[in-house]
Amino acid sequence: MTFIDTLIADESLRLAEFPVARDSIFMAHAGVTILPRRATRAMQEYLEGSCVAMQEFPAAWRAMNETRALAAKLIGAKASEIALLGPTSVGLSLVANGLDWQPGDEVVCYLEDYPANVYPWLELQRRGVVVKFLQPTALGAITPEVVEQALTTKTKLVALASCHFLTGNRIQIDVIGQMLRARGILFCLDAIQTVGAFETVVEHVDFLSADSHKWMLGPMAAGIVYVKEELQDVLRPTLLGAWNIKSPNFIAQTEIEWEAGARRYEPGVLNMAGILGMKASIELINEATVAGISARLLHLRDCLRDALTPLGFHLIESSNGCLPSGICTFSHPTRDLAPIFVHLAAHKINISHRHDRTGQDYLRFSPHFYNTEHEVERIAELLVA
C-alpha cells in the first residue's frame, strides 16, 4: 500500500498526522492550510532549542541547507537556485524590481489572477513599462494560445499563475515555457497553487515564487523563490543586507559583492522556525509523493462533483487547453451561497467563499490528500436544501 492508502485506511494514523480532522472537515488548502502535526512538532522543537541556545544554533543552520535541497528537488531545480523567502509576493516583487526594465518594454500578466501576481507588474508602469493583460475566453482559462496572442517583439517577461486561484485551471507550464524561451522572453511563475499538489517543474521557467502555506502544508511566510542560475547576474537583488552581500567579519565594504547562488536574494536572518516547519511538510509530501497527491486530489474532485451536482451545484470544469487541479469551485443558479457558507462553518466545515469581478459568488473546496470520501458525503448531507 502507498503512504496515502495507508493513511486513509488507518483513521488513527490520519488523525495523528492531521489533528484538525478529529472534529472538523478542512477543505480550504487553497487559502491558508492547517499544519500537519509533524510541521508543528518541528517548529516546537526548534523553539525549545532556542530557549537554551542562540536561535542560530548549528543544527538549525544545517536544516536550512537541507531545506534548500528538498525544495530544489520538489521543483526540479538546483539547491543554489533556491532562496528561502516568503510570502509569494516577496519573490514576485524581487523579480519585478530586479530586472533592467527600459521604457517601452512589455510585461504580460492576467488582471484576474490573485492580486499578489498583478500589483508587482502594474507598479512597473511607473518606470515606463507597458503592462498587457491576457484576454482568455473564460475566467482563468490561460492556454498557450492565449499567451501567444499577447506577445510582441517588445515582450520582456510573462508572469503567470501555475493555477488560477478561483477556477482551478492549471496552465501547461512546459508548453508555455518552451514557447517563451524560443522567443527569448522571460517566464515568471506564481506557483503557490500547485507546488506540493501537482508536478511543478522549472525546466522551462526562469523565476518562481511559492509560499508554503497552501498545498505545501507549511507555515505562513515560509516559502521558496527560484531564480535560474544563468539569470542570477541578470536579476539584481533589491533587498540588501549583511547576509546576501559579502561582509567579512561583519565589516561593510565599499564595493558590493553578492554571495553565491540564490542566497544573494536573502538580505538578513531567515525565518528559521517557519522554514523548519516547511521542511517537515515537504518531507511529508515526499512520503506521499506528488504523483500520489495529484491522483488523490483529482479523485476527490470527482467525488465532490458527483455529490454536489445532483443538488444543483455547478462545478467550474477545467477549460480546453488547461488542466484540472485540487481547487473545486461551485456556483448555484438559485441558492444564496453566503448563508450556505455560514451554515457549513457552523458545522465545522472549512471551505472558502469567493467572488469574481462581476460579483458572482462561489463556494471553493480545496481538499488535500488526507481528506476522505466520507467527509465529502457529510458535506453533501449539509448542503441538502
Per-residue pLDDT at 53 exceeds 90: no
Q: Which of 41, 33, 47 is nearest to 17 (CA)?
A: 41
Q: Which whole-number Å values give the CA distances from 43 to 18, 189, 361, in the listed order?
A: 16, 28, 37
Q: Does the pLDDT of residue 48 top 80, yes or no?
A: yes
pLDDT tens digit sequence for 360-379: 999 999 999 999 999 999 99
Q: What pLDDT was estimated at residue 61?
A: 87
| Whole-number pLDDT of residue 63 | 93
Pairing, β 155-161 against β 106-109: parallel
Q: How many other C-beta atoms can be found within 10 angstroms of the C-beta atom of residue 344?
A: 20
Cell matching residue 84: 528561502
Q: Quick one: pLDDT at residue 180? A: 98
For 265, phi and psi rounded to 5 degrees? -95, 0
pLDDT category of residue 139 using cuts at 50, 70 and 90:
very high
Residue 119's φ and ψ, nearest 5 degrees, are: -60, -40
pLDDT in tens, 278-296: 999 999 999 999 999 999 9
Strand partners, 223: 211
Taking a C-beta distance cutoff of 8 angstroms, is the pair 284, 38 a contact? yes
Question: Which domains are assigned to the chain?
Answer: 3-35+290-383 (3.90.1150.10), 42-286 (3.40.640.10)
In this prediction, residue 44 carries a pLDDT of: 97
Q: Are 194 and 30 in contact (CB under 8 A)?
A: no
Q: Is the pLDDT of residue 380 over 70?
A: yes
Average pLDDT, the chain: 97
What are the backbone dihedrals phi and psi of residue 223, each rounded to the nearest 5 degrees, phi first? -155, -170
Of 114, 299, 295, the C-alpha closest to 214 is: 114
Count Cβ atoms below 10 Å from residue 3 Cβ, excluding itself: 17
C-alpha grid cell, residue 227: 531564480
Question: For a pLDDT cut of 90, what percent of the chain falls above it?
Answer: 96
Q: What's the confidence (pLDDT) of residue 109?
A: 98
Query: Is residue 115's pLDDT more than 90?
Result: yes
Q: pLDDT tens digit string along 220-270?
A: 999 999 999 999 999 999 999 999 999 999 999 999 999 999 999 999 999
Number of neighbours of residue 94 by Cβ within 10 angstroms: 23
**pLDDT reading at 308 higher than 80:** yes
- CB atoms closer than 10 angstroms to residue 221: 17
Looking at residue 318, the DSSP 8-state letter turns out to be: P
Is residue 23 pLDDT above 90, yes or no?
yes
Q: Is 353 left (phi over 0), alpha (psi -120 to 50) or beta?
A: beta
Residue 71 Cα to chain centre, angstroms: 13
**pLDDT band per the 50, 70, 90 thresholds, residue 60:** confident
CA 371 to chain centre: 19
Kindly report the pTM of this predicted structure: 0.97
| Across 318-322, average pLDDT | 95
Q: With pLDDT > 70 as the criterion, what percentage of the chain qualifies?
A: 100
DSSP 123-185: GGGGGTPEEEE---SSTT---HHHHHHH--TTEEEEEEESB-TTT-PBP-HHHHHHHHHHTT-
CA distance 33 to 50: 26
| 23-27, 55-59, 159-163, 317-321: segment of lowest average pLDDT | 55-59
CA distances from 246 to 119, 217, 254, 255 (A): 32, 34, 11, 9
Residue 161, beta-bridge partner list: 190
**Which residues 6+ apart lie within 8 Å of 230 measured at CB?**
none
Q: What are phi and psi of 17, to 5 degrees?
A: -75, -35
Give the up-direction half-sphere exposure of residue 100: CA atoms within 13 A in the CB hemisphere. 5
Whether pLDDT at 385 is above 80: no
| Dihedral (Cα; 90, 96, 99, 102), 10-degree rounding | -160
Q: Please tell me the total number of residues recorded for the chain in this structure.
A: 385
Q: Tens digit of pLDDT for each residue in 194-230?
A: 999 999 999 999 999 999 999 999 999 999 999 999 9
C-alpha cell recorded at residue 67: 531545506
From residue 93, alpha-carbon distances to 106, 116, 212, 265 in Å are 16, 9, 17, 11
Based on its alpha-carbon atoms, the radius of gyration of the chain, rounded to whole angstroms, reads 21
